[in-house]
């Protein structure tokens, strides 16, 4: 395949990944890594390196718009980022010592479990009830977000310690798999901490850039970031994330949750099959 065509196809696929990442809080990496490894036969470690760079771009693009529009909670993001950053450094250290086929299978298993949790959540009320939590009040984590009709919807944050612990695991997955761990972060905030889905996805987009930056340095040092691959991926994801940020304001939560579930379910199955077939 000519290099120009190869770059153009990667750029187009990255736009779609960035759009999905911005709408669902996945960060684009959850689509990019399977796309690069399965469709373009890129080594998974180089795919993860390019994905981490794109995740930083996604966070810079979509998150800025979400903060300006009042959806992202900067205070929640910065608090939880302490756990994810520590986990990301540990995960990146592990990634260089885990076989590539095992990375694919782990990736797929995480996605399938995330799809299950998201499907289960779709059968519950979309707006969690208000809770009284002393730590939420002390840390001032509760807040409100635009309801689309010119008003504000208030929410309370619950299970602070469980959410913090889950974010450490999300950070490990980010460094290990290069996905920004948006799926785990969204589900942790949405299911465990009781944060509304739109706030969870937008705050996840805000967080994933810091998490990815913490592990990208290790991949760069070990030579797993190829500028020729990372550059079109980064530009495509950034463009797609900006488009997604514009659409999310008017999108229905049920539609976003459905897209979230279907995408990660399909990719999870694909990554497990690919990892299993490549097992020596």
Tell me how far CA of residue 244 lies from CA of 33, 41, 65, 92, in angstroms. Answer: 19, 27, 10, 28
CA distances from 147 to 13, 25, 257 (A): 32, 18, 17
Average pLDDT over residues 261-270: 77
Residues in the chain: 280
Identify the bridge partners of residue 152 per DSSP, sorted by sequence position: 146
Residues 216 and 225: beta-carbon distance below 8 Å: yes
Query: From the DSSP assignment, how many helices (H) and strands (E) are in the chain?
Result: 11, 2
Are 90 and 220 in contact, with CB atoms under 8 Å apart?
Answer: no
Q: How far apart are CA 14 and CA 169, in angstroms?
A: 26
**Under the phi-then-psi rule, with left for phi > 0, alpha for psi from -120 to 50, and beta for the rest, what region is 23?**
alpha
User: How far is residue 127's CA from residue 200's CA, in Å, rounded to a whole number?
Assistant: 12
Work out the mean pLDDT of the chain and round it to a whole number: 77
Cα angle 148-149-151, degrees, rounded to a multiple of 5: 95
pLDDT at 126 over 50: no
The pLDDT value recorded for residue 127 is 47
Determine the pLDDT at residue 258: 78
pLDDT digits (tens, 9 = 90+) for 185-226: 877 888 788 888 888 878 887 887 777 777 787 778 888 889
| Residue range 223-265, pLDDT digits in tens | 888 988 999 988 888 888 778 777 766 777 677 767 777 877 8
**141: nearest Cα among 202, 194, 183:** 194
Rounded to the nearest 5 percent, the helix, strand and coil shares of the chain are 75, 5, 20
- Answer whether 104's CB lies under 8 Å from 37's CB: yes
Q: Where are the domains of the chain?
A: 3-277
The pair of structure tokens assigned to 26 is 């996945």
pLDDT value of position 84: 85
pLDDT beyond 70 at 39 = yes
Classify residue 124 as exposed, middle or buried by CB count within 10 Å of its CB (0-12, 13-18, 19+): exposed
Cβ neighbour number for residue 215 with a 10 Å cutoff: 30
Burial class of residue 174, CB neighbours in 10 A (0-12, 13-18, 19+):
buried
How far is the C-alpha of 190 from the C-alpha of 235, rounded, in Å? Answer: 29
**Which pLDDT band, with edges at 50, 70 and 90, does 125 fall under?**
very low
């Amino acid at each position: 395949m000519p290099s120009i065509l190869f770059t153009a196809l990667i750029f187009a696929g990255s736009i779609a990944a960035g759009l999905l990442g911005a709408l669902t809080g996945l960060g684009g990496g959850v689509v990019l890594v399977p796309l690069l490894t399965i469709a373009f036969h890129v080594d998974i470690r180089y795919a993860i390196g390019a994905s981490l760079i794109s995740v930083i771009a996604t966070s810079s693009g979509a998150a800025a718009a979400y903060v300006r529009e009042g959806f992202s909670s900067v205070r929640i993001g910065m608090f939880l980022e302490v756990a994810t950053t520590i986990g990301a450094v540990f995960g990146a250290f592990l990634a260089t010592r885990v076989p590539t086929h095992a990375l694919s299978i782990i990736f797929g298993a995480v996605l399938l479990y995330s799809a299950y949790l998201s499907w289960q959540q779709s059968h519950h009320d979309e707006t969690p009830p208000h809770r009284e939590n002393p730590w939420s009040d002390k840390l001032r984590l509760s807040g409100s977000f635009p309801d689309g009709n010119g008003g504000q919807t208030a929410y309370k944050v619950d299970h602070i310690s469980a959410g913090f612990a889950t974010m450490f695991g999300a950070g490990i997955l980010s460094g290990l798999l290069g996905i920004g761990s948006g799926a785990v972060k969204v589900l942790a905030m949405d299911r465990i901490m009781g944060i509304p889905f739109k706030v969870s996805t937008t705050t996840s987009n805000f967080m994933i850039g810091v998490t990815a930056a913490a592990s990208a340095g290790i991949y760069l040092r070990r030579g797993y970031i190829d500028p020729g691959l990372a550059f079109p991926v980064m530009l495509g994801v950034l463009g797609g994330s900006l488009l997604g940020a514009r659409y999310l304001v008017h999108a229905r939560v049920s539609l976003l949750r459905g897209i979230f579930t279907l995408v990660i379910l399909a990719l999870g199955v694909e990554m497990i099959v690919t990892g299993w077939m490549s097992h020596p």
